[in-house]
Chain A
């Protein structure tokens, strides 16, 4: 079948699925069957090529940052915004962006891919740039081991033709430098020594952060300090200060990653003042520290899916100032195995306590909190009932809900009934 015909079929399916509602990857599946090379052929036409963003934590927010930062530099960017990060999700997104003559109006593609899908993707499409954020314990029920995850990212790095940007602070990511092709450039983003102690790796969870004896490579962009939203970075050795309006220290660190990538793509043409100005305008991705307004109070949704992410989310604000709810489900997208909750230290919640624990694994969570002497006011497995009660009893405090993925989706749906929640297409 000729390409325009397949594409029009795909676009038709996309239109039809939109009418039916839901299923963002389905039209891509149809395209994949009809024309398997569709994605690689289309992406190969982009003048500045393809960027792949992968790693355990922070992909969605970092991808969003990269897109906005590249746009601030005047580029037209294609991205898989719906977070449907399969090859077919990319195909579906492509169909949505193409005009009816089949032209993708973009200079560069920035794609968020999870580790396993990234491996499949790079078999079809060689990325020009890869940004690899971290390898942390997550979804071991899917990937088996962290070392398996590291090997997946290593495959992505090996397939990258232009520049691979690595997290200097993550030893498993740093070692990927050995697997990069000889004529591919390697750049790093990182932290100043002072900040390093705030980001323990999984290996340092029990032992604390130990001084590395390894000589670390220079970072293109390093985060050197932050107070509130005001953040200082060292870019190619030059100190630059800007605002990052995102919740959580890990997001500020990922801003360093997004800037390193943007500067690498732009090269000599980089407009740094525009870059810093844009940084302040980036809003959180859905459920990643997204702030909603409920009856005049702020309610933050904080996606948690692995020990390091949960630890960093907890350390991002002082618990006593908030009413706190934790919602833990154990569907496939949440991680079926809830053992990881035991590698999160919850003592920071001891003073304020937890107002509500909910989700399918509410009692596992409550038991976990009990072991860290955190008082739990209520346990209610049903999310809808729990949310209502939590809001009602928040007593004028700002609210924080730490939630796993499917719990977040369910809570957003409930919240949409009482406040403005951005529609996810």
Chain B
């Protein structure tokens, strides 16, 4: 019997149909399994445009998409934006990657001169760039230690005052070409350009999301001891790869 016996967490994946381009499903799967390893039952719910919005979600994850995917989901995202914002302020942990990271910001100015309005959970602005930033990326975070993944984006993101970066890049580009910062952090929300996908090789981030969700729902979180030897080897191999 673990402390979490009969406790459950509901994970909502935002827009898996249109925003699931670089193995984003891996984040949802990995998070769910990690929560199970910590003793929770889990339920994964897909949220696609027009679906009923689940305000009782314990963790929200969202991924990247084609430009066309972003256009498809944009109206729906704006429609549920205030509710997502309220949940974020209320402490619901969220992880958004790439396309949804950008749209969780204030604005995305595309290269074609179009302005996509974001839902403003993050104080940041993204501008479409000419060239894609592509390659293996390694970064250091005070909260999560070394984070490893792969980036592939043309958007250049600049953080405002109301938000801090997730990490400082040691190999690769990150949010933009200038400041070596990557991702964003506010409340219990994490935004990042890293896929790979992010969570399987960075379980400390999963543990953060799970612990915050558990504390919010049950007032406590007792972590289980999990054997991460395979994860460590996969991380070591990935960190050694050339850009």
Instruction: List residues of A whose CB falls within 8 A of some B CB.
Output: 137, 140-141, 144-147, 203, 205-207, 330, 336-343, 360-364, 366-368, 370-371, 379, 381
Contact = CB atoms under 8 A, between A and B. Distances in A.
Max chain A C-beta neighbours (<10 A), residue from B23, B195, B238 = B23
Given A366-B230, A367-B200, A371-B200, A144 B237 contact: no
Nearest to A366: B230
B66 A146 contact: yes
Given A337-B150, A338-B196, A145 B136 contact: no
Interface of B: 16-17, 20-26, 29-30, 33, 46, 66-68, 132, 134-136, 150, 152, 154, 195-197, 200-201, 230-231, 233-234, 236-238, 241
Given A144-B132, A145-B67, A339-B197, A371 B29 contact: yes
Contacts of B238: 361, 364
B195 A144 contact: no
B233 A363 contact: yes
A342 B197 contact: yes
B50 to A, nearest CB: 13
Contact of B152 (A144, A147, A360, A362): A144
Max chain A C-beta neighbours (<10 A), residue from B68, B230, B234, B237 = B234
23 contacts: A140-B21, A140-B152, A141-B135, A141-B150, A145-B66, A145-B67, A146-B66, A336-B135, A337-B152, A337-B195, A337-B196, A341-B23, A342-B23, A342-B24, A342-B29, A342-B200, A361-B238, A363-B236, A366-B233, A366-B234, A367-B201, A368-B200, A371-B200
Max chain B C-beta neighbours (<10 A), residue from A203, A339, A341, A368 = A339
A144 B67 CA distance: 11
Contacts of B233: 363, 366, 379
B234 A367 contact: yes
Nearest to A345: B25
Contacts of B46: 206
Contact of B26 (A205, A207, A336, A339): A339
Contacts of B68: 147
Given A144-B154, A206-B17, A363 B230 contact: yes
Nearest to A142: B134
A337 B135 CA distance: 7
Contacts of B150: 141, 336-339
B25 A342 contact: yes
A339 B66 contact: no
A137 B21 contact: yes
Contacts of B135: 141, 336
B234 A363 contact: yes
Give 9 nearest A-B pairs by CB, closest first.
A342-B26, A342-B23, A339-B23, A363-B234, A363-B233, A339-B22, A337-B150, A206-B16, A367-B234
Nearest to A362: B237
Contacts of A146: 66
A141 B23 CA distance: 13
A343 B25 contact: yes
A364 B152 contact: no
Max chain B C-beta neighbours (<10 A), residue from A147, A367, A371 = A367
A367 B22 contact: no
Nearest to B17: A207
Contact of B237 (A206, A340, A360): A360
Contacts of A379: 233
A147 B67 contact: yes
Nearest to A341: B23
Given A339-B22, A341-B23, A361 B154 contact: no
A212 to B, nearest CB: 15
A338 to B, nearest CB: 7
Nearest to B30: A371
A381 B237 contact: yes
B26 A371 contact: yes
A113 B241 CA distance: 29
Given A205-B20, A206-B17, A361-B237, 12 more contacts: A146-B66, A206-B16, A337-B22, A339-B22, A339-B26, A341-B23, A342-B26, A343-B25, A361-B238, A371-B29, A371-B30, A379-B233
A337 B243 CA distance: 11
B196 A339 contact: yes
